[in-house]
Amino acid sequence: MSIDPKSTTGPSIPSNAEKDPDEWTTGAESMTGAQASYLKTLCEEAGEPFDPGLTKAEASKRIDALQGKTGRGRTH
């Protein structure tokens, strides 16, 4: 018997993707190249400035905020 990973009836096991960026052990490091690339795209679409000096954690939060503004990255 397999378990549906999208099931909401079983116990919730938090993944690293759900961990608060402020709790990341590498959150103070410079953002990754992938984060920078995606963030640049989101900033252009939202008409907002891109800050290349963000940390990984800051970039993650900014990406979340801009996804909310642009509607990108949302699954329905």
- Give me the residue spans of the domains in the chain: 26-70
Residue at token pair 């984060």: 35
Query: What is the tens place of the pLDDT at every residue in 2-61?
Result: 555 555 555 555 555 678 887 877 778 899 999 999 999 999 999 999 999 999 999 999
- This prediction's pTM: 0.68
Q: What is the pLDDT of residues 56-76, one digit of tens each?
A: 999 999 999 999 999 887 664
Of 21, 25, 54, which is closest to residue 38 (Cα–Cα)? 54
Alpha helices, DSSP H only, in the chain? 33-46, 56-70
- From the CA atom positions of the chain, what is the Rg in Å? 15
Which residues are CB-contacts of 30 (< 8 A; sequence separation ≥ 6)?
54, 55, 56
Burial class (CB in 10 A: 0-12, 13-18, 19+), 56: middle
